[in-house]
Amino acid sequence: MTDKDEFLYPRSRYHGQVKPEDLIFNANLQKFAQQVGYIVSLQTAGKLTPETAYQQMEALWEQLKLSKKQLRIGKSPLPTDEGKQED
């Protein structure tokens, strides 16, 4: 089963700054790209209408945007208790 999954859902190595949120977003981005590729192929083969393909890709895009927002990609890190002085 693993060979089939690796064939259908290949993953590329991550070469950016290694932070948990960046790794998660990279996995989400790769999944998005793979699914868009499948949708495009199905639409090109006539298995999906252009409107259905567009709607599916738009839904995937919204999921990716939500993922980016939730992971705070491109935003300053969440404040920590470090550096706070005790009263």
Among residues 31, 12, 20, the alpha carbon closest in space to that of 71 is found at: 20
The per-residue pLDDT for 87 is 47
Residue 11 lies in a domain: no
Residue 44 lies in a domain: yes
Residue 43 lies in a domain: yes
Over residues 38-60, the pLDDT tens digits come to 999 999 999 999 999 999 999 99
Residue 5 lies in a domain: no
Residue 84 lies in a domain: no
Please tell me the pTM assigned to this model: 0.72
Q: What is the DSSP letter of 16?
A: S
Residue 8 lies in a domain: no
Q: Tell me which residue range forms the domain holding 23.
A: 19-69
| Domain count for the chain | 1
Give, to the nearest 10 degrees, the angle between helix 20-44 and helix 50-71: 180
Low-confidence ranges of the chain (pLDDT < 70): 1-2, 5, 8-10, 77-87
